Amino acid sequence: MPDPLFTPHARALTVLLGDVENHARSHREVFVGTAGSVIERHNASGFAFYARQFYDADGKKRERYLAGPVGSKDAEATAEEMRTRIRDVKDLVPSLRMLAREGFSVVDRKTYATIASLHNHGVFTAGATLIGSHAYGVLLNHLGVRAAPYTTLDIDIARREALALEHVPDRGFLEMLRDSGIEFVEVPQLDRKQPSTSFKERGRSVFQVDLLVPSPDQTFPVLPVPELKAYATGLPYLRYLVAESQVGVVIAREGCCAVRVPLPERFAIHKLIVSRLRRGRHAKSQSDVQQACVVAAALADSHPGALESARAQVPRSARRYLTGALKLAEPLVKERHARAWEEIGG
C-alpha cells in the first residue's frame, strides 16, 4: 500500500501547540518583527528616553521611541510594561523553535510581519479570513499532522461581508500592509482601467498579498471593499469556503498570532472545486488537489462525518467541478485513506 499522505505529530507536541494557540488567542497586539529589547537613548540636547530595539522583516535592526524622560513615573511604567511583553514572547520562542524543528508549518519573517500587522489592525477579528496555502499550514498544525512541505509567496485574504473595523488608516488596506515595515505597492492590472486587487513588495520581489471576495457568479470580477478603501478579485464559490470559519494560529520562529481560517472540511472541498476553475495553471491545480487530499485524509481520521457534511452543502453549480477534481484525487486518497475517500468521493 502507498505511504499515507500525512504523519501524526506526537501527543506531547500537539499539547505544546495548544499552549502556543492559547497564548496567541490571548494577545490583541503582537510584535511585528522580533521582540527585541528596551534600551536607553539620549538626544543631542541630553534628553534621556527609552526605545525598543528589534529586527524587522528584512533582518534590519530598528529602533522605536517608547517614552521619556528616563526616571519619570510614566516613562518607567511604559518601559516596564514593554519589558514584560518582551519577556513573555522570549519565553515562548523556544517552544516555537521546537515546533518548527519537529515539522510544524512555520511562516517566514515577511509573511509573519504582514499577517501580524493585519492582526494588529483587527482585520481577522472583524471577520476577514486567511485562505490559500498559509491557511493550509495553519490547518495542518491544528489537525496535529505534518505533510510534504509547501511553498508560496502569496498571502490570500478573503472578506465575506463588510468588516466591522474599529479604525481604518487613511490609506486603508495598503497602509495596514505597510505597517509591517515592508514597502508594499499596488500591482497594476493587465487592464489599466481596472483598480488593483493585489499588493506586492516594491522592487523585484514577488512577495504578494491578494484581496479576495465572493463572486456573484462564475466570473472573476473586480469588486470594491469600501471599509478597507481597496478593491478585491471576486472568486467563484468563495462564499462556500468562508461561510464558516474558526480561529487558528500562524507560527513563526519569532512569534505567533491568531487569525481566522476556514473550517478544514470546507477548505478541502473548496480546493478541489477551484482546482478545476484554474486555466493554464496546471502546477497550481495539482497543488490544490494535493492540499485538499491531505486535509481530507487527516480530517476523516480525527473528525469523521465532517467531510460528508461539507460535501452535502456544496452549491449545485459547483458539483460538476468537484466531480472532475475527484478523478484526480482518487489515486491519492482511495487506497491510502479509505475513510476519507468514502466521505468525499465514495
Q: How far apart are CA 327 and CA 307, in angstroms?
A: 17
CB count in 10 Å sphere of residue 286: 13
Report the predicted TM-score, pTM, of the whole model to 2 decimal places: 0.94
Give Cα separations from 125 to 98, 118, 119, 175 (angstroms). 28, 10, 8, 18
Report yes or no: 156 and 212 within 8 Å, Cβ to Cβ: yes
pLDDT tens digits, residue range 15-35?
999 999 999 999 999 999 999
| Confidence at residue 72, expressed as pLDDT on a 0 to 100 scale | 94
User: For residue range 219-255, what is the model confidence (pLDDT) as tens digits?
Assistant: 899 999 999 999 999 999 999 999 999 999 999 999 9
Q: Are strands 198-201 and 184-186 parallel, antiparallel or unpaired?
A: antiparallel
CB-based contacts of 119, cutoff 8 Å, min separation 6? 30, 257, 258, 259
> Cis omega (within 30 of 0) on the bond before 69?
yes
Distance CA 39, CA 53 (A): 7
Regions of the chain short of the pLDDT cut 50: none
**Quick one: 202 exposed, middle or buried, by C-beta within 10 A (0-12, 13-18, 19+)?**
exposed
Question: Collapsing DSSP states into helix, strand and coil, what is residue 115?
Answer: helix
Name the grid cell of 283: 502546477
104 to each of 54, 121, 145, 236, 301, how far by Cα in Å? 25, 26, 8, 31, 19
> pLDDT value at position 280?
55
Q: What is the pLDDT of residue 1?
A: 61
Q: Do 134 and 152 touch, CB atoms closer than 8 A?
A: yes
pLDDT the model gives residue 201: 94
pLDDT value of position 346: 64
Residues 6+ apart with CB under 8 A from 45: none
Tell whether the torsion through CA atoms of 59, 64, 66 and 70 is positive or negative.
positive
Q: Which pLDDT score is estimated for 281? A: 60
> CA-to-CA distance for 333 and 300, rounded, in angstroms?
11
Q: Which three cell numbers stand for residue 314?
A: 456544496
Containing 283, the helix (H) or strand (E) segment is: helix 282-302
pLDDT in tens, 152-196: 779 999 999 999 898 888 889 999 999 999 999 999 887 778 899
In angstroms, the CA 344 to CA 326 distance is 8
Which residues partner with 233 through β-bridges? Answer: 212, 222
